[in-house]
Structure 1
Amino acid sequence: MSTLPPMSTGALASRRVSRRRFVGGSLAIAVAMPAVGRPAFAAGSLNVYNWDTYIGQDTVANFSDETGTNVRYDLYAGNDELFAKLREGNPGYDVIFPSNDYLERMVVADMVQKLDHSKIPNMSNLAPRFLEAKFDPGREHSLSYFWGTQGVGYRTTAVDGVESWSLLFDSEELSGRKSLLTDVAVLQTAMKYLGFSANSTDPAEIQQAIDLLIRAKPTIQSFAPDTGQDLLISGEVDLAMEYSGDIMQVMEEDDELSYAVPQEGAILWEDVMAIPTGAPNVENAHAFINYILTPEVHAEIAEEVQYACPNQAAVELLPEDQRNNPVIYPSEEVLDRCEFKIYMGEETEGLYAQGMTRVLAS
């Protein structure tokens, strides 16, 4: 990833770019902004490290104006980049936004510190289900930012609906018109299709999923690094495994597109706000997390990024068509079929990573 100057709020202008994309938005910002030197991390300010295109256009500027806090806002492209950046020691960040399984991994590695809930009274705005989490008991280290599903975006003129993952993993139908993601969640979704847990630690079950994907590979047009929504809207594919919010964005541009969570279920994810170990501005970090959880602030961000908001008070402020949209907020019946990816230990995580490498190389 390119070295970026401190991010200006003007660079946060609304655009259709996945918040999980590994290239694109960050590089575009680097080109658009002046080639100025980067100040060192400053005490008495706030240093935020977040995914690209994953905050409201004015959120950072408004926080700065209201609190008088100078904010440095840096971008990363994925959880691996975040983890690698902080693994050798925090260079000075105060607030980070890892996904749930990486939060677990960072807790085990002592890379995040416990939150002081007394300094985050707005956490009471979270829906009850988000005040507890298996990946962070008691919410000691994190509070929820956004959540969603991985499912299938599809073109309704090519297929009536997507009832099963078999259309992507085990069918010649629409051969060459399908795309999958490149990360290990594809392998874990294949596990669910086979009737196993997405978090199985059984090498034999993992191997069955690897074999399934290798057999399916000739029918797949592309393993896309979170650009399946672009392949879908451009007409290059008719089925794309993608994140719900990304497909929601292109559905707004093309009324022939839709999204489904197949009957076997899918991967649930939750991105969280946490304070890394060694943060120089802990008080400001708590203040920023509390600010995000203000209903009006969180609602404004949710309306822009179109991912599911865990803030119950914020959801009530959203436009009716957004808060009642089943693509963004799936029914309990759908959620019961889904599974959070959990951290399974380095050995098992390695098996999944090696398995996905084999699939991509086959």
Structure 2
Amino acid sequence: MTHQNSRNSKSSFPFIHQSRRHPTRRRFLQFSAAALSTVALSNCARNTLNQQSTASSPVAQTDSKTLYLYTWADYSSNELYQRFRDKTGIQVIADVYDSNEMMLNKLQAGGGDQYSLIFPSDYMVRQMIDSQLLLPLDQSKLKGFDNVMDRWKSPTYDPNSAHSIAFNWGTTGLLYNTKVVSTEPTDWDFLWQNRDALSGKITLLDDVRETMGAVLKSLGYSYNATEPAQIEAAYQKLLELKPHLASFKTIGWEDQLISGDLAICMAYSNLGSLLPIENPHLKYVIPQSGTSIWTDTMAIPAKAPNVEAAYAWINFVLEPENAAYAATQLKLGTPNKAAFELLSAEVKSNSSLYPSAEVVKAGEGIQPVGDAINLYEKYWTEVKSA
């Protein structure tokens, strides 16, 4: 399911193409049946109205008043796009993806000249820089970069923000049903310590780097370990838990957790913040030993057709009022310190969205691990088939 609002006519709102790939963390911001049916109906109407307004259209190469985005499904907000159009006169047309790999594959297959702005995650930024797929940013064209929090001004994945600007961020943790689990989990090891009592009621993310990273962290290693012995130790520990898992699943477990058929699920802070609003018996916790601190960014493809419109969007988002609006609309953490001050006290105190400095310090961003990825994938395949 996607975080998308009801769409109106072609003349007023952009065409947004809904991808059909398997959902990831970005596709569960709206999870009710009513919301899903509304999205489905609006998507059908939208596609019928504007069959030609795709990012592969030649107009993407020449139209200076249109910004073609390739973005996460739940970052597509007509309200936000209309706000940008009202300010700049530039219309937004968006295609959406649900994994970094899907986005990368499309750009590598020749789609880099179709889009003027993309939203890669931290580790993918590094990979795309190394592959020369991103345009170096002209710092003189950026307005409001001083508003970015220090952590994201020169991140390890992109020193000095030379190719990307942080857009949103979040964490990975455990979401549990307090009616089923009476003792609050404090760390990843809770799953192993209580595996018999929770057997068949646990889910982990269907994501090799996140799940293997969490196991590595529980062993005292880095999320980004490259030592073969450490990766193997994580594999062996994950094998111990495997018989007690209901599944590896990133999305689709919500109703079971709410009802109590599941007890505890590895989840991203998006859902960890949203689900408890209507289901107060659910609670999201960030493991004390540390977790992944993920960041999604704004970047310009090396062959972008409308670079100036891309800078207009980046500068629009860097404005505190717009950054705060985007964070409120998309229910994600903002890396803009001036925007953070504009948020309501309730939002700022939401530890699921804005954890303490100590929690953030203990976390890690997922980084490329070089050739070690082959070992991760080998063990991941083995543990899932065990």
Alignment correspondent of 1:162: 185
Aligned counterpart in structure 2 of residue 31 of structure 1, from 25, 40, 44? 44
Q: Name the aligned partner's letter for residue 21 of structure 1.
A: R
* Residue 69 of structure 2 is aligned to residue 48 of structure 1: yes
Cα deviation per residue 1:255-297 (whole Å; 9 max; x = unaligned)?
Answer: 1111111222111111111001100101110111111121111
Alignment of 1:1-362 (within 5 A): 8=13, 20-21=26-27, 28=40, 30-35=43-48, 36-39=50-53, 40=57, 41-43=60-62, 44=64, 45-89=66-110, 90-159=112-181, 160-169=183-192, 171-184=195-208, 185-345=210-370, 347-362=371-386
Q: Which runs of 5+ in 1 are unaligned?
A: 1-5
CA distance in 2 between counterparts of 1:149 and 1:130 reads 15
Larger fraction in helix: 2
Conserved 8 A contact 2:24-2:250 = no
Conserved 8 A contact 1:175-1:220 = yes
Conserved 8 A contact 2:119-2:299 = yes
Alignment correspondent of 1:3: none
Identity %: 35
CA distance in 1 between counterparts of 2:300 and 2:198 reads 45
CA distance in 1 between counterparts of 2:253 and 2:120 reads 22
CA distance in 1 between counterparts of 2:312 and 2:378 reads 41
Shift of the alpha carbon at 1:150?
0.3
Shift of the alpha carbon at 1:117?
1.8
CA distance in 1 between counterparts of 2:304 and 2:192 reads 44
Shift of the alpha carbon at 1:128?
2.1
**Which deviates more, 326-335 or 233-242?**
233-242
CA distance in 1 between counterparts of 2:93 and 2:76 reads 14
CA distance in 1 between counterparts of 2:145 and 2:76 reads 18
**SS of 2:223 mapped into structure 1:** coil
Cα deviation per residue 1:296-321 (whole Å; 9 max; x = unaligned)?
Answer: 11111211222211011111111111
Cα deviation per residue 1:110-156 (whole Å; 9 max; x = unaligned)?
Answer: 11111112212122211222211111101100111111110001112
CA distance in 1 between counterparts of 2:254 and 2:313 reads 32
Q: Name the aligned partner's letter for residue 38 of structure 1.
A: Q
**SS of 1:196 mapped into structure 2:** coil
Closer/same/farther in 2, CA of residues 305 and 19 from structure 1, 3 Å limit: farther
Conserved 8 A contact 1:9-1:58 = no
Q: Which runs of 5+ in 2 are unaligned?
A: 1-9, 18-22
RMSD value over aligned CA atoms?
2.5
CA distance in 2 between counterparts of 1:229 and 1:298 reads 29
**SS of 1:221 mapped into structure 2:** strand
Closer/same/farther in 2, CA of residues 336 and 173 from structure 1, 3 Å limit: farther
CA distance in 2 between counterparts of 1:124 and 1:22 reads 32
Conserved 8 A contact 1:198-1:339 = yes
**Which deviates more, 56-65 or 229-238?**
229-238
Q: Name the aligned partner's letter for residue 80 of structure 2.
A: T
Cα deviation per residue 1:159-214 (whole Å; 9 max; x = unaligned)?
Answer: 22111212324532311111110001101110111111111111121112112222
Closer/same/farther in 2, CA of residues 56 and 311 from structure 1, 3 Å limit: farther
